[in-house]
Amino acid sequence: MMTGYLFALGATAIWSGNFIIARGLNESIPPISLAFWRWVVAVVAFLPFALKTLIDEWGVVKENIPYLAVTSLLGVTLFNTFIYVAGHTTTAINISLICLTFPIFMAVLSRFFFQERITINKGVGIMLVAGGVLFLMAKGVVSSLLDISFATGDVWALAAAIIFAVYSILLRKKPKQLSVWSLQLSTFMMGLFFLFPFFIWEYTTAPSVEFDKTTVLSILYLGLFASLSAFVLWNKAIATVGPSKSGMIYYTLPLFSGFLAHLFLKEEMGMVHFFSMALIISGILAANHESRPLRRRPASRSHGRRSKISH
Protein backbone atom coordinates (compact mmCIF):
# COMPACT_ATOMS: atom_id res chain seq x y z
CA MET A 1 0.00 0.00 0.00
CA MET A 2 2.78 2.44 0.95
CA THR A 3 4.49 1.71 -2.37
CA GLY A 4 1.42 2.98 -4.24
CA TYR A 5 1.49 6.29 -2.37
CA LEU A 6 5.20 6.63 -3.12
CA PHE A 7 4.49 6.06 -6.84
CA ALA A 8 1.84 8.81 -6.79
CA LEU A 9 4.14 11.12 -4.83
CA GLY A 10 6.97 10.51 -7.29
CA ALA A 11 4.80 11.25 -10.31
CA THR A 12 3.48 14.45 -8.70
CA ALA A 13 6.98 15.63 -7.80
CA ILE A 14 8.15 15.03 -11.39
CA TRP A 15 5.16 16.88 -12.87
CA SER A 16 5.83 19.87 -10.62
CA GLY A 17 9.09 20.39 -12.50
CA ASN A 18 7.07 21.15 -15.63
CA PHE A 19 5.96 24.48 -14.14
CA ILE A 20 9.48 25.37 -13.03
CA ILE A 21 10.83 24.80 -16.54
CA ALA A 22 7.92 26.75 -18.06
CA ARG A 23 8.98 29.76 -16.02
CA GLY A 24 12.72 29.19 -15.92
CA LEU A 25 13.18 28.91 -19.71
CA ASN A 26 10.85 31.79 -20.63
CA GLU A 27 13.83 33.81 -21.98
CA SER A 28 15.75 30.87 -23.50
CA ILE A 29 13.25 29.13 -25.77
CA PRO A 30 9.81 30.16 -27.14
CA PRO A 31 6.81 28.23 -25.72
CA ILE A 32 5.79 26.38 -28.88
CA SER A 33 9.36 25.23 -29.53
CA LEU A 34 9.64 24.01 -25.93
CA ALA A 35 6.43 22.03 -26.30
CA PHE A 36 7.46 20.67 -29.72
CA TRP A 37 10.87 19.36 -28.63
CA ARG A 38 9.38 17.96 -25.45
CA TRP A 39 6.98 15.78 -27.44
CA VAL A 40 9.67 14.78 -29.95
CA VAL A 41 11.70 13.36 -27.05
CA ALA A 42 8.58 11.79 -25.51
CA VAL A 43 7.59 10.02 -28.74
CA VAL A 44 11.10 8.68 -29.36
CA ALA A 45 11.35 7.45 -25.74
CA PHE A 46 7.86 5.92 -25.82
CA LEU A 47 8.21 4.03 -29.11
CA PRO A 48 10.13 1.01 -27.76
CA PHE A 49 7.50 0.41 -25.09
CA ALA A 50 4.28 0.99 -27.04
CA LEU A 51 4.95 0.55 -30.77
CA LYS A 52 4.17 -3.18 -30.88
CA THR A 53 0.90 -2.64 -28.99
CA LEU A 54 -0.03 0.21 -31.33
CA ILE A 55 0.59 -1.97 -34.40
CA ASP A 56 -1.49 -4.80 -32.92
CA GLU A 57 -4.37 -2.39 -32.23
CA TRP A 58 -4.05 -0.39 -35.46
CA GLY A 59 -7.54 -1.36 -36.59
CA VAL A 60 -9.06 0.07 -33.41
CA VAL A 61 -6.95 3.21 -33.76
CA LYS A 62 -8.21 3.83 -37.32
CA GLU A 63 -11.82 3.42 -36.21
CA ASN A 64 -11.36 6.08 -33.53
CA ILE A 65 -9.33 8.70 -35.42
CA PRO A 66 -11.82 11.57 -34.69
CA TYR A 67 -11.76 10.82 -30.95
CA LEU A 68 -7.96 10.52 -30.89
CA ALA A 69 -7.56 13.72 -32.92
CA VAL A 70 -9.57 15.82 -30.47
CA THR A 71 -7.89 14.19 -27.48
CA SER A 72 -4.44 14.80 -28.98
CA LEU A 73 -5.21 18.42 -29.82
CA LEU A 74 -6.34 19.19 -26.27
CA GLY A 75 -4.05 17.05 -24.12
CA VAL A 76 -0.82 17.29 -26.11
CA THR A 77 -0.90 20.20 -28.56
CA LEU A 78 -2.64 22.84 -26.44
CA PHE A 79 -2.44 22.02 -22.72
CA ASN A 80 1.32 22.12 -22.11
CA THR A 81 1.85 24.79 -24.77
CA PHE A 82 -0.53 27.09 -22.86
CA ILE A 83 1.43 26.37 -19.66
CA TYR A 84 4.67 27.36 -21.38
CA VAL A 85 3.04 30.54 -22.72
CA ALA A 86 1.82 31.30 -19.18
CA GLY A 87 5.38 30.94 -17.90
CA HIS A 88 6.39 34.11 -19.74
CA THR A 89 4.22 36.42 -17.62
CA THR A 90 3.38 34.70 -14.33
CA THR A 91 5.14 32.68 -11.64
CA ALA A 92 5.56 28.92 -11.47
CA ILE A 93 3.66 28.87 -8.17
CA ASN A 94 0.66 30.65 -9.72
CA ILE A 95 0.62 28.27 -12.69
CA SER A 96 0.65 25.17 -10.47
CA LEU A 97 -2.12 26.50 -8.22
CA ILE A 98 -4.37 27.53 -11.09
CA CYS A 99 -3.84 24.30 -13.05
CA LEU A 100 -4.78 22.36 -9.92
CA THR A 101 -8.39 23.55 -10.36
CA PHE A 102 -9.16 21.27 -13.31
CA PRO A 103 -11.34 18.81 -11.27
CA ILE A 104 -13.78 21.64 -10.59
CA PHE A 105 -14.05 22.47 -14.28
CA MET A 106 -14.65 18.76 -14.88
CA ALA A 107 -17.61 18.86 -12.47
CA VAL A 108 -19.10 21.93 -14.17
CA LEU A 109 -18.61 20.60 -17.71
CA SER A 110 -19.99 17.18 -16.74
CA ARG A 111 -23.14 18.94 -15.55
CA PHE A 112 -23.66 20.54 -18.96
CA PHE A 113 -22.61 17.66 -21.22
CA PHE A 114 -23.60 14.58 -19.22
CA GLN A 115 -26.31 16.02 -16.94
CA GLU A 116 -24.38 14.91 -13.86
CA ARG A 117 -25.95 16.39 -10.77
CA ILE A 118 -24.01 19.07 -8.88
CA THR A 119 -24.48 18.17 -5.23
CA ILE A 120 -24.27 20.59 -2.31
CA ASN A 121 -20.72 19.39 -1.67
CA LYS A 122 -19.72 20.08 -5.27
CA GLY A 123 -21.41 23.48 -5.18
CA VAL A 124 -19.50 24.47 -2.05
CA GLY A 125 -16.30 23.12 -3.57
CA ILE A 126 -16.77 25.12 -6.76
CA MET A 127 -17.28 28.35 -4.79
CA LEU A 128 -14.19 27.71 -2.63
CA VAL A 129 -11.99 26.97 -5.62
CA ALA A 130 -13.30 29.98 -7.55
CA GLY A 131 -12.61 32.15 -4.52
CA GLY A 132 -9.09 30.76 -4.20
CA VAL A 133 -8.28 31.37 -7.88
CA LEU A 134 -9.70 34.91 -7.86
CA PHE A 135 -7.84 35.72 -4.65
CA LEU A 136 -4.61 34.43 -6.21
CA MET A 137 -5.09 36.29 -9.49
CA ALA A 138 -5.95 39.47 -7.58
CA LYS A 139 -2.72 39.03 -5.57
CA GLY A 140 -4.70 39.15 -2.34
CA VAL A 141 -6.15 42.60 -3.04
CA VAL A 142 -9.86 41.92 -3.41
CA SER A 143 -10.56 45.47 -4.61
CA SER A 144 -8.41 44.82 -7.69
CA LEU A 145 -11.07 42.39 -8.91
CA LEU A 146 -13.07 45.43 -9.92
CA ASP A 147 -10.17 46.67 -12.03
CA ILE A 148 -9.57 43.23 -13.67
CA SER A 149 -5.81 43.70 -13.70
CA PHE A 150 -4.77 40.06 -13.79
CA ALA A 151 -1.43 38.84 -15.11
CA THR A 152 -1.74 37.54 -18.67
CA GLY A 153 -0.03 34.31 -17.66
CA ASP A 154 -2.71 33.61 -15.04
CA VAL A 155 -5.35 33.71 -17.78
CA TRP A 156 -3.30 31.34 -19.96
CA ALA A 157 -2.93 28.97 -16.98
CA LEU A 158 -6.69 29.11 -16.38
CA ALA A 159 -7.31 28.27 -20.04
CA ALA A 160 -4.89 25.33 -19.68
CA ALA A 161 -6.83 24.05 -16.66
CA ILE A 162 -10.11 24.19 -18.62
CA ILE A 163 -8.53 22.39 -21.58
CA PHE A 164 -7.16 19.67 -19.30
CA ALA A 165 -10.61 19.27 -17.74
CA VAL A 166 -12.17 18.65 -21.18
CA TYR A 167 -9.31 16.28 -22.03
CA SER A 168 -9.88 14.35 -18.78
CA ILE A 169 -13.60 14.05 -19.51
CA LEU A 170 -12.79 12.65 -22.97
CA LEU A 171 -10.55 10.03 -21.37
CA ARG A 172 -13.65 8.66 -19.63
CA LYS A 173 -14.95 7.79 -23.10
CA LYS A 174 -11.82 5.89 -24.13
CA PRO A 175 -12.68 2.99 -26.45
CA LYS A 176 -12.52 -0.19 -24.37
CA GLN A 177 -10.60 -2.08 -27.07
CA LEU A 178 -7.82 0.54 -27.03
CA SER A 179 -5.06 -0.03 -24.45
CA VAL A 180 -3.55 2.82 -22.47
CA TRP A 181 -0.22 2.32 -24.24
CA SER A 182 -1.74 2.67 -27.69
CA LEU A 183 -3.80 5.65 -26.56
CA GLN A 184 -0.77 7.48 -25.19
CA LEU A 185 1.54 6.82 -28.13
CA SER A 186 -1.09 7.69 -30.74
CA THR A 187 -2.06 10.91 -28.96
CA PHE A 188 1.61 11.87 -28.48
CA MET A 189 2.25 11.41 -32.21
CA MET A 190 -0.91 13.13 -33.40
CA GLY A 191 -0.48 15.99 -30.95
CA LEU A 192 3.06 16.49 -32.22
CA PHE A 193 1.74 16.48 -35.80
CA PHE A 194 -0.81 19.20 -34.96
CA LEU A 195 1.89 21.23 -33.21
CA PHE A 196 4.29 21.11 -36.16
CA PRO A 197 2.76 23.97 -38.26
CA PHE A 198 2.81 26.28 -35.23
CA PHE A 199 6.41 25.26 -34.55
CA ILE A 200 7.39 26.19 -38.13
CA TRP A 201 5.61 29.55 -37.76
CA GLU A 202 7.40 30.30 -34.49
CA TYR A 203 10.72 29.09 -35.89
CA THR A 204 10.50 31.59 -38.77
CA THR A 205 9.28 34.54 -36.68
CA ALA A 206 11.00 34.20 -33.29
CA PRO A 207 14.72 34.57 -32.51
CA SER A 208 16.73 31.39 -33.02
CA VAL A 209 17.08 29.12 -30.01
CA GLU A 210 20.49 28.52 -28.50
CA PHE A 211 20.47 24.94 -27.25
CA ASP A 212 22.79 25.32 -24.30
CA LYS A 213 23.24 22.71 -21.56
CA THR A 214 20.33 24.00 -19.44
CA THR A 215 17.88 24.05 -22.35
CA VAL A 216 18.81 20.57 -23.57
CA LEU A 217 18.65 19.03 -20.09
CA SER A 218 15.29 20.71 -19.46
CA ILE A 219 13.82 19.34 -22.70
CA LEU A 220 15.13 15.86 -21.87
CA TYR A 221 13.58 16.13 -18.41
CA LEU A 222 10.21 17.05 -19.90
CA GLY A 223 10.32 14.32 -22.53
CA LEU A 224 11.78 11.48 -20.47
CA PHE A 225 10.53 12.17 -16.96
CA ALA A 226 7.44 14.43 -17.10
CA SER A 227 6.04 12.56 -20.12
CA LEU A 228 7.23 8.95 -19.69
CA SER A 229 8.47 8.19 -16.17
CA ALA A 230 5.69 10.11 -14.41
CA PHE A 231 3.12 8.39 -16.62
CA VAL A 232 4.44 4.94 -15.63
CA LEU A 233 4.58 5.86 -11.93
CA TRP A 234 1.06 7.30 -11.99
CA ASN A 235 -0.40 4.20 -13.62
CA LYS A 236 1.35 2.00 -11.05
CA ALA A 237 -0.09 4.19 -8.28
CA ILE A 238 -3.61 3.88 -9.66
CA ALA A 239 -3.21 0.11 -10.00
CA THR A 240 -1.99 -0.13 -6.38
CA VAL A 241 -4.12 2.30 -4.36
CA GLY A 242 -6.80 3.39 -6.86
CA PRO A 243 -7.56 6.69 -8.65
CA SER A 244 -9.22 8.46 -5.69
CA LYS A 245 -6.32 8.02 -3.26
CA SER A 246 -3.81 8.82 -6.00
CA GLY A 247 -5.78 11.98 -6.75
CA MET A 248 -5.48 13.08 -3.14
CA ILE A 249 -1.68 12.86 -3.44
CA TYR A 250 -1.81 14.94 -6.63
CA TYR A 251 -3.13 17.88 -4.62
CA THR A 252 0.32 18.23 -3.05
CA LEU A 253 1.54 19.54 -6.43
CA PRO A 254 1.73 23.23 -5.36
CA LEU A 255 3.91 22.28 -2.38
CA PHE A 256 6.49 20.69 -4.68
CA SER A 257 6.21 23.54 -7.20
CA GLY A 258 6.52 26.15 -4.47
CA PHE A 259 9.64 24.52 -3.02
CA LEU A 260 11.30 24.09 -6.42
CA ALA A 261 10.33 27.61 -7.52
CA HIS A 262 11.93 29.01 -4.38
CA LEU A 263 15.01 26.82 -4.79
CA PHE A 264 15.70 27.40 -8.50
CA LEU A 265 13.82 30.60 -9.41
CA LYS A 266 14.00 32.45 -6.08
CA GLU A 267 10.22 32.88 -6.08
CA GLU A 268 8.68 33.60 -2.69
CA MET A 269 5.54 31.91 -1.36
CA GLY A 270 3.59 34.51 0.58
CA MET A 271 0.39 34.38 2.58
CA VAL A 272 -1.56 35.00 -0.64
CA HIS A 273 -0.32 31.68 -2.02
CA PHE A 274 -0.96 29.74 1.19
CA PHE A 275 -4.47 31.17 1.58
CA SER A 276 -5.30 30.50 -2.07
CA MET A 277 -3.89 26.98 -1.78
CA ALA A 278 -6.01 26.33 1.31
CA LEU A 279 -9.17 27.50 -0.48
CA ILE A 280 -8.46 25.56 -3.68
CA ILE A 281 -7.51 22.27 -1.98
CA SER A 282 -10.43 22.58 0.48
CA GLY A 283 -12.79 23.16 -2.43
CA ILE A 284 -11.53 20.15 -4.36
CA LEU A 285 -11.78 17.92 -1.29
CA ALA A 286 -15.31 19.20 -0.58
CA ALA A 287 -16.39 18.62 -4.17
CA ASN A 288 -15.06 15.04 -4.08
CA HIS A 289 -16.51 14.20 -0.69
CA GLU A 290 -19.40 11.77 -0.87
CA SER A 291 -21.77 11.72 2.06
CA ARG A 292 -22.48 8.17 3.14
CA PRO A 293 -26.04 7.34 4.06
CA LEU A 294 -26.53 6.26 7.64
CA ARG A 295 -26.93 2.53 8.06
CA ARG A 296 -30.14 1.54 9.77
CA ARG A 297 -29.79 -0.89 12.63
CA PRO A 298 -31.94 -3.99 12.20
CA ALA A 299 -35.03 -3.92 14.37
CA SER A 300 -34.89 -6.07 17.50
CA ARG A 301 -37.00 -9.16 17.51
CA SER A 302 -40.22 -8.91 19.45
CA HIS A 303 -39.20 -11.56 21.97
CA GLY A 304 -36.40 -9.32 23.25
CA ARG A 305 -33.24 -11.01 21.96
CA ARG A 306 -30.63 -8.66 20.48
CA SER A 307 -30.25 -8.98 16.75
CA LYS A 308 -26.78 -9.82 15.40
CA ILE A 309 -25.02 -7.20 13.27
CA SER A 310 -22.32 -8.51 10.97
CA HIS A 311 -19.15 -6.46 10.62
Structural domain contains residue 200: yes
Structural domain contains residue 309: no
Q: What is the pLDDT of residue 22?
A: 95
Structural domain contains residue 304: no
Q: Are 249 and 5 in contact, with CB atoms under 8 Å apart?
A: yes
pTM value? Answer: 0.84
Q: For the chain (length 311 residues), average pLDDT per consecutive 10?
A: 88 94 94 97 95 96 96 95 95 89 83 79 85 77 58 92 91 88 94 97 92 95 94 86 77 86 87 87 80 53 42 45
Q: What is the pLDDT of residue 295?
A: 54
Structural domain contains residue 60: yes
Give long-range contacts, CB 8 A cutoff, 24+ apart: 166-171: 166/74, 166/105, 166/109, 167/71, 167/74, 167/75, 167/79, 168/102, 168/106, 169/106, 169/109, 169/110, 169/113, 170/67, 170/70, 170/71, 170/74, 171/71
Burial of 166 from C-beta contacts in 10 A (0-12 / 13-18 / 19+): buried
Distance from C-alpha of 251 to C-alpha of 12, rounded to nearest angstrom: 8
Q: What is the pLDDT of residue 302?
A: 47
Structural domain contains residue 301: no
Into how many domains does the chain fold?
1
Structural domain contains residue 28: yes
200 lies in which domain range? Answer: 2-206+217-288
Q: What is the pLDDT of residue 4?
A: 86
Structural domain contains residue 152: yes
Q: What is the pLDDT of residue 311?
A: 45
Q: What is the largest CA-CA distance in the chain?
A: 90
Alpha helix (H) ranges present in the chain?
Answer: 2-24, 31-56, 58-63, 65-72, 79-86, 92-99, 102-114, 120-137, 152-172, 180-205, 213-220, 230-241, 243-250, 253-264, 271-288
Structural domain contains residue 303: no
